[in-house]
């Protein structure tokens, strides 16, 4: 028999128990974390938190586009936000009707298409457009100066309101001067210039419009001061007009007082001036706006209502002379 070297016995290493595998894995992770730079496990946790936050933000829905602000002005608030004669001055009282110059000098056809909106808006007293929510209006007369002021407050569609204010800003440039023709063929020259109202509300626009000519047997110059102020999705607007020189300070005073009152009522408070004003002052002064679509073919240029100003024959004695 051949001599063979003795066979070496291999040492069998027992397999690791399955239960030890997770333990070793955790130990390896801890060892790795301990060997990393300063901050160790704290930095890793911070990075994990940031990654989780970024993922959560990515999954979050994007903000919805801006929407029209809700109409928050109530009917009671709109009435409370109206100015009173006390806000305007001693010479002002509640109106007795639409002034006769309204139909005679504001009903006409503009020779510039884009300017018809201005003429119609002045006649109907809705240059801001129609309110989409609650509204209130009041009219006042200054018989000494022969002026008439109409004041209104309303809740509007925000987008439409901003559009109207933007359009008003362009009027002095696009409709600085144009010609209007009445139903009898008389012609008037209409001019518009800016009358800013800085510092009032969240946005404001003002205009001074003059209408001059001899149409309809009215050799006159009508001056109209217009102001509009936005507070949120609500706005006030007013027109002060007369055949004599109109005091721009009257509009400024009314706009300032009206802005304060509107801000007060929207904040849920009662305007201080309302406490001293007669409870029925606003209601007695309320007057409807003229209809911009009134029949342009009417035979008479005179309005159906009684005039609120003394615009008759100058030879007629006044009340002081009779007394």
d(CA 152, CA 237): 6
pLDDT in tens, 170-180: 999 999 999 99
- Confirm if 87 and 254 have CB atoms less than 8 A apart: yes
In the predicted model, is pLDDT for residue 167 greater than 80? Answer: yes
Mean pLDDT across the chain, nearest whole number? 73
Angstrom distances, CA of residue 275 to CA of 69, 236, 250, 259, 269? 30, 20, 22, 17, 12
Instruction: Select from 239, 285, 291, 231 the least CA-distant residue to 79.
Output: 285
Q: What is the mean pLDDT of residues 176-191?
A: 92
φ/ψ of residue 155, rounded to 5: -100, 125
Q: How are strands ordered across the β-sheet holding 203-213?
A: 93-94, 135-142, 147-155, 234-242, 220-231, 203-213, 187-194, 177-181, 109-110
pLDDT in tens, 141-157: 998 888 999 999 999 99
Of all helices (H) and strands (E), which one includes residue 149?
A: strand 147-155
User: Which of 225-229, 265-269, 276-280, 310-314 is most confident?
Assistant: 225-229
pLDDT in tens, 93-138: 999 888 878 777 888 999 999 999 999 999 999 999 999 999 999 9
- pTM for this structure? 0.65
Beta bridge partners of 135: 154
- Confirm if 211 and 105 have CB atoms less than 8 A apart: yes
Give SS3 for 251. helix
User: CA angle, 232 as apex, 139 and 137 as ends, to 5°?
Assistant: 10
Q: Where are the beta strands (DSSP E) in 169-249?
A: 177-181, 187-194, 203-213, 220-231, 234-242
Position 191 scores a pLDDT of 96
Task: Please report which confidence band the pLDDT of residue 216 belongs to, taking 50, 70 and 90 as the band edges.
Answer: low
**CB 127: neighbour CB atoms within 10 A?**
21
φ/ψ of residue 150, rounded to 5: -115, 130
In the predicted model, is pLDDT for residue 41 greater than 70? Answer: no
Give SS3 for 241. strand
d(CA 226, CA 238): 6
Instruction: Give CA 131 to chain center in angstroms.
Output: 10
Instruction: Select from 106, 51, 34 the least CA-distant residue to 301.
Output: 106
- Confirm if 122 and 226 have CB atoms less than 8 A apart: yes
d(CA 212, CA 189): 5
More confident position, 69 or 290: 290
């Amino acid at each position: 028999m051949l001599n063979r070297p003795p066979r070496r016995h291999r040492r069998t290493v027992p397999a690791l128990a399955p239960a030890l595998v997770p333990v070793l894995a955790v130990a390896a992770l801890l060892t790795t974390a301990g060997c990393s730079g300063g901050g160790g496990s704290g930095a890793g946790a911070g990075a994990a938190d940031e990654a989780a936050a970024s993922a959560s933000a990515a999954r979050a829905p994007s903000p919805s586009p801006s929407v029209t602000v809700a109409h928050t002005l109530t009917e009671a608030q709109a009435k409370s936000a109206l100015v009173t004669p006390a806000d305007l001055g001693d010479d002002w009282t509640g109106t007795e009707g639409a002034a006769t110059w309204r139909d005679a000098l504001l009903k006409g056809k503009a020779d510039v298409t884009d300017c018809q909106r201005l003429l119609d808006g002045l006649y109907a007293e809705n240059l801001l457009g129609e309110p989409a929510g609650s509204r209130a209006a009041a009219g006042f007369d200054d018989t000494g100066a022969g002026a008439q002021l109409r004041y209104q407050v309303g809740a509007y569609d925000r987008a439409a309101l901003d559009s109207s204010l933007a359009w008003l800003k362009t009027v002095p440039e696009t409709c600085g001067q144009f010609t209007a023709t009445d139903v009898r063929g008389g012609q008037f020259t209409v001019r518009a210039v800016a009358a800013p109202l800085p510092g009032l509300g969240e946005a404001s626009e003002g205009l001074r419009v003059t209408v001059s000519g001899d149409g309809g047997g009215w050799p006159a110059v009508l001056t109209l001061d217009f102001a509009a102020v936005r507070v949120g999705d609500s706005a006030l607007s007013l027109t002060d007009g007369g055949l004599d020189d109109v005091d721009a300070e009257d509009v400024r005073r009314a706009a300032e007082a009206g802005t304060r009152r509107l801000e007060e009522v929207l904040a849920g408070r009662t305007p201080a001036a309302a406490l001293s004003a007669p409870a029925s002052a606003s209601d007695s002064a309320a007057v409807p706006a003229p209809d911009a679509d009134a029949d342009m073919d009417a035979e008479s240029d005179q309005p159906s209502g009684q005039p609120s100003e003394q615009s008759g024959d100058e030879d007629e004695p006044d009340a002081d002379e009779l007394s």
